[in-house]
Amino acid sequence: MATVKCSIPKGTRDFLPTEMARRNYIFDTIRSVFHLFAFEPIETPSLENLSTLMGKYGEEGDKLLFKVLNSGDFMEGVDFAQDYHKVAPQICDRGLRYDLTVPFARFVVQHREQVTFPFRRYQLQPVWRADRPQKGRYREFYQCDADMIGSTSLLNELELVQMIDMVFGRLGINVVVKINNRKVLAGIAEMVGAPDRLVDITVAIDKLDKIGLDNVRAELRERGLTDQQIAMLDPVFALTGDTEQKLGSLDQMFDGVEVGHKGVEELRELFGLITSADMKCSVELDLTLARGLNYYTGAIFEVKARDVQIGSICGGGRYDNLTGIFGMPDVSGVGISFGADRIYDVLTELNAFPEGLEQSARIMFINFGPAEQSACVKIAARLRAEGISTLIYPDAAKMKKQMDFANRKQVPYVAFVGESEMNDGTVTLKNMVDGTQATLTVEELIARI
């Protein structure tokens, strides 16, 4: 058999035990906050029907969907001279999920009789995007989502911001939460006389931080806006003052633009709730924030780390009729998604992971031979019953080899059970941090550890 080069696809990663311990720390932190706010866990398949996914993420999102070829003779009867967009549906009817929100909307409709509304769910699963791999951007990555569906109350938006504040406070990451409202963006599009260009406007201005104002103007021009319409956007980009002053100025601009007024009203109410909630993180209005996904209709959120140059590490927003696509109209939802992989990169750059996460065993028993091993097995069972992670070295190897292994694995305690300990019913315990030793009964050993 020919030798195969060991490799994995670009944009994907293997995770070593140390990396997994750190990732699980992030997942456990996020999950614990989700539980505090009474969210319930669900899971959905990695594969969804393409009809579920296509058309929900905008033109650019559709291009990034991983499509899975049909099984069997999928090429039979297909005219490959056709345009790709006509060929693809004939040879692919499934795709890897792009996010967790659209599958969640499908889940809600499919299981509407089995869930209680308003429904609060969380989901920690991988998603896939056929993107160009770069720092902080992968083709396979985890999202940690929390959504409420079946309620239009802005209390839901407040609780999402509170969860953001709590998660990043526990992780020790200094963040800023940026908030806007898609109704405000719809109002801006109507104000400049281009209500049918909302998607073009939002896609372009969402790139402001990445490509700068001049390039945003150029892209808007390419997307069909006139120079006069583009110039009418400048006062929006130039707004100054605190949140209330910006909202006041914006409200005046929206003379006769009802959807814009509604967006300003929702933002005022939400920022009022946030002010009364005493957040520890910074929360600010960002009228250039657009979030590129087409299904957002109300408040939108994006979270940036202040001390690390990286893209957003959390985001989300309100969607009023995503379930309507699947036959269940007028059910509003709102949610956020924590980007676990980018959070990992931030914590790594800040060197902010807690010490001791890598410890797989709290104590390791040295193996002196068959009789001693048998005694260790009984004691190890007692320790594990008390919730203490315990390892017995599997072979009666040289002492140095076993101790070196314990050091490499950062095991804090090593236990010796030799002939004298077996006779006395004791264990000699060595603290690998300070080098001290003590001979203890099993009960004393459990109490010490």
Residue 2 has pLDDT above 80, yes or no: no
Number of other residues whose CB lies within 10 A of the CB of residue 163: 21
Residue 90: what pLDDT? Answer: 72
Task: Give the contacts of 315 (CB within 8 A, at least 6 positions apart).
Answer: 291, 300, 301, 302, 303, 336, 337, 339
Residue 173 has pLDDT above 70, yes or no: yes
C-alpha 69/C-alpha 162 separation (Å) is: 42
Residue 359 has pLDDT above 90, yes or no: no
Q: Which of 55, 158, 41 is nearest to 107 (CA)?
A: 41
Residue 164: what pLDDT? Answer: 98
Residue 93: what pLDDT? Answer: 87
**pLDDT: is 445 or 291 the higher one?**
445
Residue 271 has pLDDT above 70, yes or no: yes
Q: Which of 129-133, 342-346, 402-406 has the lowest mean pLDDT?
A: 129-133
Residue 78 has pLDDT above 80, yes or no: no
Specify which residues 140 forms β-bridges with: 128
Q: Residue 181 corresponds to which amino acid?
A: N
Q: For residue range 232-267, what is the model confidence (pLDDT) as tens digits? A: 888 887 788 899 999 999 999 898 899 999 999 999
Residue 234: what pLDDT? Answer: 82
Strands 92-96, 67-69: parallel, antiparallel or unpaired by DSSP?
antiparallel
| pLDDT mean over 345-371 | 94
C-alpha 445/C-alpha 62 separation (Å) is: 59
Q: What share of the chain in percent tops pLDDT 90?
A: 70
Q: For residue range 372-396, what is the model confidence (pLDDT) as tens digits? A: 999 999 999 999 999 999 999 999 9
Q: Cβ(428)–Cβ(375) under 8 Å?
A: no
Residue 293's pLDDT band (cuts 50, 70, 90): low
Which residue has 């049918």 as its token pair?
196
Residue 340's pLDDT band (cuts 50, 70, 90): very high
Start and end residues for every CATH 3.40.50.800 domain found in the chain: 363-448
Residue 156's pLDDT band (cuts 50, 70, 90): very high
Residue 177: what pLDDT? Answer: 98
Residue 70: what pLDDT? Answer: 82
| pLDDT mean over 47-69 | 87
Specify which residues 305 forms β-bridges with: 175
C-alpha 443/C-alpha 446 separation (Å) is: 5
DSSP state of 137: B
Residue 273's pLDDT band (cuts 50, 70, 90): very high
Could you give phi then psi for residue 149, rounded to 5 degrees? -135, 140
The alpha-helical segments, DSSP class H, found in 340-428 are 340-350, 370-385, 399-408, 419-424
**pTM for the structure as a whole:** 0.87
C-alpha 93/C-alpha 434 separation (Å) is: 61
C-alpha 168/C-alpha 20 separation (Å) is: 19
Residue 331: what pLDDT? Answer: 94
Residue 417 has pLDDT above 70, yes or no: yes
| pLDDT mean over 274-303 | 89
At the topology level, CATH places domain 363-448 in: Rossmann fold (3.40.50)
> What is the average pLDDT score of the chain?
91
What is the tally of helices (H) and strands (E) in the chain? 18, 16
Residue 172's pLDDT band (cuts 50, 70, 90): very high
Burial track 54-69 (b if 16+ CB lie within 10 A, e otherwise): bebbbeebbeebbbbe
Start and end residues for every CATH 3.30.930.10 domain found in the chain: 17-350
| pLDDT mean over 312-341 | 93
What CATH architecture applies to the domain 17-350? 2-Layer Sandwich (3.30)
Residue 239: what pLDDT? Answer: 82
Torsion of the alpha carbons at 105, 110, 111 and 112, rounded to the nearest 10: 80
Residue 290 has pLDDT above 90, yes or no: no
